[in-house]
Amino acid sequence: MIEVSAFKWVPPFAQGVVRDLRVRWALEEAGYGYDDRLLGFEDCASSAYRAWQPFGQVPAFRDDRVEMFESGAIVLYIAQKSDLLMPYDEAGRAMVMTWLFAALNSVEPYVTDLAAIDLFHAGEAWTVERRPQVEDALRRRLGDLQTALGDRQWFAGDQFSAADILMATVLRGLRHTAILADYPALSAYLERCTARPAFRRALAEQMAPFKANEPA
Ligand SMILES: N[C@@H](CCC(=O)N[C@@H](CS)C(=O)NCC(=O)O)C(=O)O
């Protein structure tokens, strides 16, 4: 049986964007059932959990063959088992891997830099000077990303792929801003991704424990 670690509860600003969503989404697209292993923040500090996820973060993943952490690696592992997330031909697989890493390595840092300022350090004096630089750099990256997408539907070819799971979940990290509205092709792309039934199911699965474990 597949097991995925996730939080029992997170503050509202993080609900719906915790990274186990990527793994849940990939599993839903591929049609694999799974159990979520729900953790409190204290569980993440335990040596038992650190042996599975060394940084005490979510998600971690195991099935009857492997144990893993890092959401991108896990999504890639799932994709390698399903032609619904990655084509069989070598050129197609290379393109999926390329865009999967582009999402994590060339786009996500710009998104998380802004989110850190807006969500984790809101109101701190240093952010006033730093934020415009971070937003400018992000906007340049989004402009290039939109140009690269062109009028295609998906990043890595004609078919939805694991790369789109990573890219869409990265772009959702901007949901607390209106920035994406200035990039209509990226906005439409994100709508297309998040309208997928597998995404809706994955999101509902992440959100359910948050509602159940809401602090009094
Ligand atoms: N690179 C890791 C990042 C994992 C990560 O940042 N997880 C966050 C939730 S989205 C977390 O567990 N935060 C709690 C913490 O860092 O203590 C991945 O993609 O799996």
pLDDT in tens, 122-135: 999 999 999 999 99
| pLDDT > 90? residue 184 | yes
C-alpha 145 – ligand 1 centre gap (Å) = 24
Could you give the percent of the chain with pLDDT greater than 70?
100
Q: Which residues contact 11 (CB under 8 A, 6 or more apart)?
A: none
Asked if 3-84+198-212 and 90-196 have one fold, the answer is: no
> Is the CB of residue 203 less than 8 Å from the CB of residue 16?
yes
| pLDDT > 90? residue 216 | no
Q: Look up tokens 């786009």; give the residue.
A: 107
Cβ atoms within 10 A of the Cβ of 154, count?
18
Which residue's CA is the nearest one to ligand 1's atom 5?
57
Mean of pLDDT values over 43-49:
97
Overall pTM > 0.95: yes
| pLDDT > 90? residue 23 | yes
Extents of the domains making up the chain: 3-84+198-212, 90-196
The whole-chain average pLDDT of the chain stands at: 97
Which class is domain 90-196?
A: mainly alpha
What integer pLDDT is reported at residue 201 of this predicted model?
A: 98
C-alpha 55 – ligand 1 centre gap (Å) = 8
Sequence letter at residue 59? P
Which residues, listed in sequence order, are joined to residue 3 by a DSSP beta bridge? 35, 62
Which residue's CA is the nearest one to ligand 1's atom 2?
70
Residue 23: C-alpha distances to residues 63, 105, 201 (Å): 13, 18, 12
Helix ranges (H only) for the chain are: 20-30, 41-44, 47-52, 71-79, 90-101, 108-115, 125-149, 162-171, 184-194, 197-212
What CATH topology corresponds to 3-84+198-212?
Glutaredoxin (3.40.30)
Output phi, psi for 15, to 5 deg: -65, 130
C-alpha 57 – ligand 1 centre gap (Å) = 5
Which residue's CA is the nearest one to ligand 1's atom 11?
57
Mean of pLDDT values over 3-26:
98
Question: Of all atoms in ligand 1, which is nearest to the CA of residue 57?
Answer: 12
Question: How many whole angstroms from its chain centre is CA 119?
Answer: 17
